[in-house]
Amino acid sequence: MRALLEVLSVDERSQIHERSLDVLATVGMRVDTMEGRRVLADAGAEVDEATRAVRFPPALVDEALRLAPRYFALGARRPGWSVTMNAGEAALVMSGEATCVIDRETGLERPSTHADWLQATRLIDAIDEIAVYWATVEGGPLSGGSMADWVAYNIELQRTFSKHIQDSWLDPSSSPWLLEVLDIVFGGRDEVRRRHPYSFLITPVSPLVIDEACTDSWLALRGWGIPVAVLPMPMMGTTSPGSLLATVLLANVETLGVLCLAQAAEPGTPFISAPLPVAMDPHSGRYTSNTYHPVLSAACTEMARFYGLPVMGAGNGTDAFVPGAQAGYEKTMSSLVGALAGPDLLVGPGSLGGAMVFSLEQTLIDVEIFRMCEFGRRGIPVSDGLWLDDVLARVGPGGHFMSERSTRANIRGGEWFLPRLGVRDSYDGWAAAGRPSLFDEARVRADELLAGRRELPLGEDVERELAGLLQRAVEVDSEGW
């Protein structure tokens, strides 16, 4: 008995699909990348070079959906670690690129630094529920902007984070350098293709634009089997028409448009549908994360399932700038709706203020919210050994079950949710402990995880080759890159 949320009926999903085909065939998308237009034209799209407009015939969409793999795993450098898509389970993806952090000493917001990035990356590497890296904060290792900075960032990232990495950049000339890092770390192209330790994130520009810089950066990775996640972010009322249904339609159109490009460029490319539609604040026109309209992301998850595609959904959204009650109820609501829709991946832990502020402590709180949501999504397992009607008959009316072996076994076996944070003591016990807050607990837990974490070494030979690569990047910079 799994708990699932249904936002769209089967018929409504079919209607969104048919209208998406119509929009793609008649309106199309503006494709700013010349190589992308060439690839799509070769695949049968109607391309107008003067306006960069591309129209997608239904047969092209059907072929792209046919080519996209339904099952694959996101691998990693950590031995034995992977996340399988379309396996019925969910894992977390970090929220990314916050411009500020909550300072752990003062409790106040301040601009993020490289030290913040490093500490956050080490923490999420130590949290099992967080499977996929996004760059948590800005102002980190890429602040210099040179090719050597780019290579140094990727080397430090490989040293620091041992699970799956998903990233994005806006300079196609950076792509070969990334491939060289992967080649050295994972032992060659074939191993990268087999393990999928790295994926690329493309964000179309709503409404209906496939941009040049980001898309060309992914196109430069062809031949390495790099999975691509496509994350349209239409905002209802500004970059999307003013209705929930139209916003879901637009997100679906943009996802399918990039899917066509990805499969035409490299047939069989592992593809993750990852729309993150939101709604503007009607009072100010500002971005509001997925705080109050999580059904938008849930509907897009259902559309991905309609196609059989792996999917990344959204949760943990809040407009609150600091941890507290508002962040708690907004994050819980958006996470529960997002999780019950049944994605493979769920984005958002650690973020505050519409993803502009990052907090280590909030990350731990959000992971606990996710664990509760996943426990709820699991529903009530049904098997012969869980009815326990024989135990009920033996204990009988007025009896007690605490001392039963089945009670002890099932506490350990997953029938109980076992919290990691929050008050579980009596009032007197809590007061005697100094009345700790949830934030206090999360801070202690973060410190414990950071103190207990051990990095997975790259190995001397790999480090030597990476040092040579970095030196070559420095020389290229000095020659006027």
User: Residue 197 sits in which domain range?
Assistant: 66-378
CATH of the domain at 317: 3.20.20.480
Q: DSSP letter for 98, please.
A: B
Structural domain count, the chain: 1
Flag whether 389 is in a domain: no
pLDDT at 3: 82
Q: Please report, rounded to a whole number, the percentage of residues in the chain having pLDDT higher than 90.
A: 93
pLDDT at 142: 56
Q: What is the pLDDT of residues 427-463, one digit of tens each?
A: 999 999 999 999 999 999 999 999 999 999 999 999 9
Flag whether 411 is in a domain: no
Flag whether 226 is in a domain: yes
Flag whether 467 is in a domain: no
Flag whether 317 is in a domain: yes
Specify whether the CB–CB gap between 375 and 417 falls below 8 A: yes
pLDDT at 59: 98
Flag whether 395 is in a domain: no
Q: Which contiguous run of DSSP H or E holds residue 109?
A: strand 109-111
Flag whether 34 is in a domain: no
pLDDT at 356: 94
Q: At what angle do helices 294-307 and 10-26 cross, to 10 degrees?
A: 80
Rounded-to-integer distance, Cα 165 and Cα 154, Å: 10
Radius of gyration in angstroms for the set of CA atoms belonging to the chain, rounded to a whole number: 24
Q: Which contiguous run of DSSP H or E holds residue 346?
A: strand 345-347
Specify whether the CB–CB gap between 142 and 149 falls below 8 A: yes
List of the chain residues with pLDDT < 50: none
Q: Which two tokens stand for residue 28?
A: 């199309």
Flag whether 431 is in a domain: no
Listed in order, strand segments (DSSP E) in 129-255 are: 130-133, 164-167, 198-202, 209-210, 228-230, 235-236
